[in-house]
Structure 1
Amino acid sequence: MSKFKTWDGLELNYRVWDGEGRTVVLQHGVVADTNANWMSMGVVAALQAAGHRVVSLDARGHGRSEKPHDAARYSWSAMARDVRALYDELDLDDVAQVGYSMGGVISLLVAAADERVAKLAVGGIGSGVLDCGGVDRRVVEPEEIRLAMNGDGAGAPRAARQFRVLADAVRADLDAIRAVVTGLDDRPIGTLDDITVPALVLAGSDDPFAAEPERLAAALPDGRCVVVPGDHMLAVMNPGFKDALVDFVR
């Protein structure tokens, strides 16, 4: 594990697994971190076995990265700039950018702005990108996730409570997560026209956050969609998810 100071001085944690193939940069979902989203699910191991160099970033407010409690330190554009700052830090110039859920939206923003992205894979998101400008707010509102981080989270809707279960499992800083969700309470994506690279959309068949993933794939150039069994939390664990990702990156 390594640390670097990103564009606004926050110290972020990242991890690198060496390999000879194309570098794959992973960005996790909200509340999660490198271990919860990628290592424990076997995604890092699958990419390593295929010979790729793998890099994973703990987003600001998550994992081992710095966790300010000020919502002004969080925004979609800030997190996208963090990923691009990591490219600079590691001198990357030919990247397969991969993101899940929150990380999927971040990855779309990175791919739209940075020519170093050669391939793009996103999971845990679907038509919400087109209809809601990012995360599917028809499933859960940011205020509901904030509510789930208060007390024991029992008063929050079911869709939001699953994030509290994850937060407790990874021992997340609940004050930081509330700040993250407050800072990300907007619709960052107006168009996908600036994305020009081959793209893969991965979705769990029972994931409400990734509804109609084929619509998102159709809106991306050279986009294709793979649906695997699982919900929002477990689709990443499915062997079909990892196989499709490895095949696409190759």
Structure 2
Amino acid sequence: MPTFQSDGLELAYRDEGEGEPILLIHGFASSLDVNWVGPGWFDTLTRDGRRVIAIDNRGHGASEKPYDPSFYGSDLMAGDALALLDHLDVARADVMGYSMGARVTALLAIRHPARLRSAILGGMGEGLLHGAPSADAIADGLLAENADDVTHPTAKMFRRFADVTKGDRKALAACMRAQRSLVSKDMLATITVPTLVAVGTEDDVSGDLDALVALIPGAEALPIPRRDHNRAVGDKVYKEGVLSFLARRP
């Protein structure tokens, strides 16, 4: 994959297709391949006539992986996303983030609305207002010698996911221990770009979908039936809902 420099780090990305650009930002312990290529998002969006750009967040995928928590935080990742758009000479793009990537997308919509055509927040409900649940337990679980020793349910879920995706668990633990870039209700009320919020109906990680939608002016809700946090990513309802949203947004 090609790379670019942001904040002194070398970060990887993909850039495929032609048409209106959409930037994809993956979730914690994932990567652009796991979050967007494998589940078919690149194929879906390029077939829809779009230029699809995705970033491997710092500490993830093929990007550089520092072990110091001070190198992490959603605000820094938002800066990386803007740096990638600048690197590719993209003035404005639709932006879709999943889970941690949705937090990054929300920060972009709040702080840099002129760079966004729209914001799509996947896998993130009212939990956007809070830090990652059980962050220290998750970090400890990532660093545990044996996955079977991890008993905290959320920590166990992320440890298993990191093992499957072959993530650098030391870098992921540093990312999880970083200071949260929190978003407030007042900040959400300033969002002016068209916004779609998509969450699985069985997702017990993201928080309430409708509660978040109510805080963002004009936002639309997209419940993904019978899907939890991980299984919602590649769901057909999610994809069709995003394509419909992109087709009718200003």
Question: What is the TM-score normalised by the length of structure 2?
Answer: 0.92
In the alignment of these two chains, the number of paired residues is 241
Equivalent residue for 2:137?
144
Query: How far is 1:213 from its partner?
Result: 0.5
Equivalent residue for 2:162?
167
Residue of 160, 175, 189 corresponding to 1:180: 175
Deviations 1:74-110 (A, max 9, x none): 1221111111111111111221010000000010001
Distance 2:59 2:34 in 1: 15
Distance 2:167 2:188 in 1: 32
Query: How far is 1:119 from its partner?
Result: 0.3
Indicate whether 1:200 and 2:196 are aligned. yes
Deviations 1:181-206 (A, max 9, x none): 111x4252122133110100000011
Equivalent residue for 1:232?
229
Distance 1:60 1:187 in 2: 15
Equivalent residue for 2:61?
63
Residue of 93, 102, 105 corresponding to 1:95: 93
Residue type of the partner of 1:146? A
Distance 1:192 1:18 in 2: 32
2:75–2:181 contact (8 Å) kept in structure 1: no
Equivalent residue for 2:32?
34
1:63–1:172 contact (8 Å) kept in structure 2: yes
Residue type of the partner of 1:127? E
1:145–1:156 contact (8 Å) kept in structure 2: no
Distance 1:29 1:214 in 2: 21
Deviations 1:46-73 (A, max 9, x none): 1111111000000000000000111111
Identify unmatched segments of 5+ residues in structure 1.
Answer: none
1:98–1:104 contact (8 Å) kept in structure 2: yes
Percentage of pairs with the same residue: 33
Residue of 28, 41, 44 corresponding to 1:43: 41
Equivalent residue for 2:243?
246
2:128–2:182 contact (8 Å) kept in structure 1: no
1:204–1:227 contact (8 Å) kept in structure 2: yes
2:123–2:198 contact (8 Å) kept in structure 1: yes
Distance 1:173 1:204 in 2: 27
Equivalent residue for 2:207?
211
Distance 1:65 1:58 in 2: 6
Single out whichever of 200-209 and 143-152 deviates more from structure 2.
143-152
Distance 1:211 1:76 in 2: 18
Moved >4 Å (runs of 4+):
none
Single out whichever of 56-65 and 35-44 deviates more from structure 2.
35-44
Distance 1:225 1:193 in 2: 16
Distance 2:18 2:141 in 1: 40
2:73–2:181 contact (8 Å) kept in structure 1: no
Distance 1:107 1:210 in 2: 15
Q: Where in structure 2 are the equivalents of 1:91-130 lying within 5 Å?
A: 91-114=89-112, 115-130=114-129
Identify unmatched segments of 5+ residues in structure 2.
Answer: none
Query: How far is 1:111 from its partner?
Result: 1.2
Single out whichever of 99-108 and 69-78 deviates more from structure 2.
69-78
Deviations 1:165-220 (A, max 9, x none): 1111111111101111111x425212213311010000001101233201111211
SS of 1:104's equivalent in the other structure is helix
Distance 1:147 1:64 in 2: 23
Equivalent residue for 1:81?
79
Single out whichever of 56-65 and 93-102 deviates more from structure 2.
93-102
